[in-house]
Structure 1
Amino acid sequence: MNKDQFFLVISSSLFGISMGANTIIISLYFKSLGLSPLTIGEILSLSVIIGSVISLIFSFLGDMYGRKKFAIISRSVTTVSTFLLFLGYPIAYVFSLGWGSGNLIFSMLAEKSNNVQRLLGLRQSLSIFLSVFGSLLPLLLTYKEILLLEVFINLMALALIIPVEENYRGNRSFNLKSIGVISKFSTEALIGLGAGLVIPLMSLWFNLRFDVTASEMSPIFAIAELSLAFSSYLSIVIAEKIGEVNTIIYFHSVAIALLFILPFSPSFFVASIVFVVRNVLMNMTSPVFQTMILKLVQENERSRANGIVNLMSSIPRAFGPSIGGYFFNLGNLYFPFFITGTLYSLSTVLFFLFFRKTS
């Protein structure tokens, strides 16, 4: 791994700390500020809408004028927004997501490696290892202290991008020759809507269902992320043997079955086990999926392709927390899981039909 690859992998992986911590604390932090479950869901929804739209814009600009400068802008906005969130402004969360920095960095990595699949697998595993650390932060720090730490982490991620040398100079064309391939990834819209219903609200669900605190949940989320870190790189090895499509289909199918079982868990202990296993099986194939996009799309369209696929997932995902929050507000802690499982199932079937002939 050369210097630029190292900086890009570390910069994008550092976000894992915030991901691990925020999965637990964000909805509970908003609750501590006096927001209702419905309002919490609406803020989460708005953040996804704004983040995904601007992410797409930055992805187009990155393909046209170079990716590095827009990755830097994206990280800068995230840093400022996280600081405002620390100061107690909930609305700042809608600007705190990385506006396309992931898409841009993935494209930069693909430019600098002949085996981007391995780099993405390494990046995914490292990011998740760091998210384990983030998941444990509620055991040691308050919500505000965690958010302040995230500000400094974002600054570090920003600093690592600056010295990277970019050879890609952009392509001013708006034409997308890969649009046919990109459209097949529309299955992500179903995944996005389903995930949005329950995944951003899982810590709130555990709290409402079993009356557990953030510190009690923290080890479970840490175990889930640690297990995922080991399995993510394993998915790359498996995909090299049985194919990318088969790897995604097999693991997702088992994960979906567990999702239907999860809301009927009789205790926090049982629910935790189901949650951990389902999380691993559903998400371990992320680098495999990302590699498919980079392989099937030509070099000067990669950021845009990632941005469009992200948008197709994110817009439906944005409505999910509001729907999930609505049902949780009514005291119904079961129905959102049924909807999510059904959407995941449909997406998996369509994904197989669209890509079954892809080697």
Structure 2
Amino acid sequence: MLGALQAFCPSSPYARRLILVRGVRAVGQGAMIVSFTLYLRELGWSAAAIGLLLSAIGLINAALSLFFGALGDKMGPKRLLLLHQSLVGLILLPMLFYSGRFLITVAAFVGNLGRGQNGAAGPFSAVETAWLAGFLHSQERGNAFSLNSAAGFFGMAVGSLLAALQPLWQPLFHGDSAFRPLFLLPILAAIFAVGVLSTVPDIAPKPPIQSPHSTSPSIRIRIQEGLRDFRMLILLSLTNAFNGFAIGMTSPLISYWFAVRYHVGPERIGSAFLFTFLLTGISALLTGHLTQRVGLIRSVVIPRSIGLLLLVLLPLAPTYPLAALLYILRSAFNRGTVGARQAVAIGLIPERWRALGISINNISSSFPSAVGPSLSGWMLQADELALPFYCAACLQGFYLVLYFLLFRHVDNRSNLPNPELT
């Protein structure tokens, strides 16, 4: 196992540190995806109110992602990420003692609570992705982004396990306060991130190096290249919108759905999430290996097609153990492809505006994903427990067809050598 992980590790020590930060940050996020909506339910929030909060978090973070992506290309990623992690630690600290609605709302926005980002840095995730890409050879991207994704899933597994242990200390607390110690995890993760990120050098955009006798491409050629890159980005964003909408319909409220549908608590939900993220992390590593065999696009489409079938079957499960098993397998096949999809996007976005391009790509799924919890929360409030899954399945199916038809030819392009790193 260690040998396999070493084969996935990028050559740059700075890239490895960024991946480590993602894994540690994911521990806090794993605890929150299990417990945050259950915490709000314990406080008396309705399903519709919880869904509205999660939607608002997604919408605002998506809008900020575009702004910070453009800013990251101008000033470099390091200061932005350090500022973000410092704010997360400071604003989540009062959550250990208070449960007022205003505080919860502000902390949820800053900490991206309950959204299950797999270790990503909220609205700064595009900036961090571009930072990581700057330390990678293009040939490493498939494996490195798969390892980055796997680190997030393994961290989420640890966080889910810790959330599942909540009944051990629950007798020491009164009511909803039993959830509060779990907020220590994202706080400590933020402190760790500040310490490690401060040791990673910044990467500023580099102008192309030209000899005195070299000639720049003509304006016509640059316009053609820009239009080609923009067209590919628009097509990628269009397909991601369907995927994001599908994710938003199911993932943010899945803990709440398990609790309502099967009457289970955080210990059983957290245990299921533990195995979910462990298996998904392994799947992400296997997908990285699969990209070398069948290419990036097929490494996305084949596993996600299996995940689509499992998504249809999930709401039909008569018992919680069967539903948990279907959810675990579906997550492994579906979310294990995150690294491969990131590698495709990186290959399509020019170096000169990479952070902004990744932001545009991210918000194309983030905005629809943000709308999803409001709709699914309303459906759950109306006791339509299966409808969100069937809506998501239709959207995911359309996404897979578009993704394959539009990008089946880009594998060769996404693996072209990066002249700045070779």
Output the TM-score relative to the length of structure 1: 0.94
SS of structure 1 residue aligned to 2:252: helix
Give the letter for the 1:125 counterpart: A
Cα distance between partner residues in 2 of 1:8 and 1:101: 13
Corresponding residue for residue 94 of structure 1: 109
Helix, strand or coil: the match of 1:14? Answer: helix
1:228-265 deviation per Cα after TM superposition (whole angstroms, max 9, x unaligned): 11110110110111011111111111111111111010
Give the number of aligned pairs: 356
Q: Look up the match of 1:168.
A: 204
- Superposed, which structure 2 residues align to 1:339-350 within 5 Å? 339-350=391-402
Matches within 5 A, 1:275-286: 275-286=327-338
The letter for the 2-side match of 1:321 is P
CA distance 1:180–1:80, change in 2 (3 Å):
farther
Specify the alignment match of 2:164 in structure 1: 139
SS at match of 1:100: helix
Q: Distance in 1 between matches of 2:365 and 2:352?
A: 22
* Aligned equivalents of 1:195, 1:110: Cα separation in 2: 25
Q: Which runs of 5+ in 2 are unaligned?
A: 1-10, 113-120, 167-177, 208-222, 412-422
**CA–CA separation in structure 2 for the residues paired with 1:14 and 1:113:** 21
CA deviation vs aligned residue, 1:309-344 (integer Å, no higher than 9, x gap): 111111111111111111111111011111000000
Greater Cα offset, 60-69 or 281-290: 60-69
Matches of 1:104 and 1:168 in 2, distance apart?
12
The aligned residue for residue 218 of structure 1 is 270
Q: In the aligned structure 2, how far is the partner of 1:215 from the partner of 1:167?
A: 43
- Written as runs of structure 1 = structure 2, the 5 A alignment for 1:311-322 is 311-322=363-374
Distance in 1 (CA, whole Å) between partners of 2:87 and 2:232 is: 32
CA contact (8 A) 1:244 1:289 kept: yes
Once the two structures are TM-superposed, the CA of residue 6 in structure 1 deviates from its matched residue by 2.6
Query: 1:193 maps to which residue?
Result: 245
Map of 1:209 onto structure 2: 261
2:116 corresponds to:
none
RMSD: 1.7
In 2, are the aligned partners of 1:54 and 1:99 still within 8 Å (CA)?
Answer: no
Q: Greater CA deviation, 272-281 or 73-82?
A: 73-82
Measure, in 1, the Cα distance between the counterparts of 2:90 and 2:253.
25
- Report the alpha carbon displacement of residue 12 of structure 1 after superposing the two structures with TM: 2.1
Pair member with larger Rg = 2
What is the match of residue 184 of structure 2? 148
Give me the whole-angstrom Cα distance separating, in 2, the residues matched to 1:356 and 1:2: 30
Q: Is the 8 A contact 1:131 1:222 kept in 2?
A: yes
Change (3 A) 1:139 1:356: closer
Q: CA deviation at 1:167?
A: 3.8
Q: How does 1:243-322 map to 2 (within 5 A)?
A: 243-322=295-374
- Aligned mate of 1:184, from 205, 230, 235: 235
CA 1:248 to 1:290, structure 2 compared with 1: closer, same or farther past 3 Å?
same
Structure 1 distance, partners of 2:65, 2:194, is 17
Is 2:405 the partner of 1:353? yes
Contact 1:190 1:344 in 2 (8 A): yes
CA deviation digits over 1:250-307, x for unaligned, max 9? 1111111111111010111111111111011011110000011111211122111111
Q: Summarize the alignment of residues 63-102 of structure 1 with structure 2, pairs less than 5 Å apart.
A: 63-86=73-96, 87-88=98-99, 89-92=103-106, 93-97=108-112, 98-102=121-125
Find runs of 4+ consecutive structure 1 residues off by over 4 angstroms.
Answer: none
**Alignment partners' CA distance in 1, 2:28 and 2:42:** 19
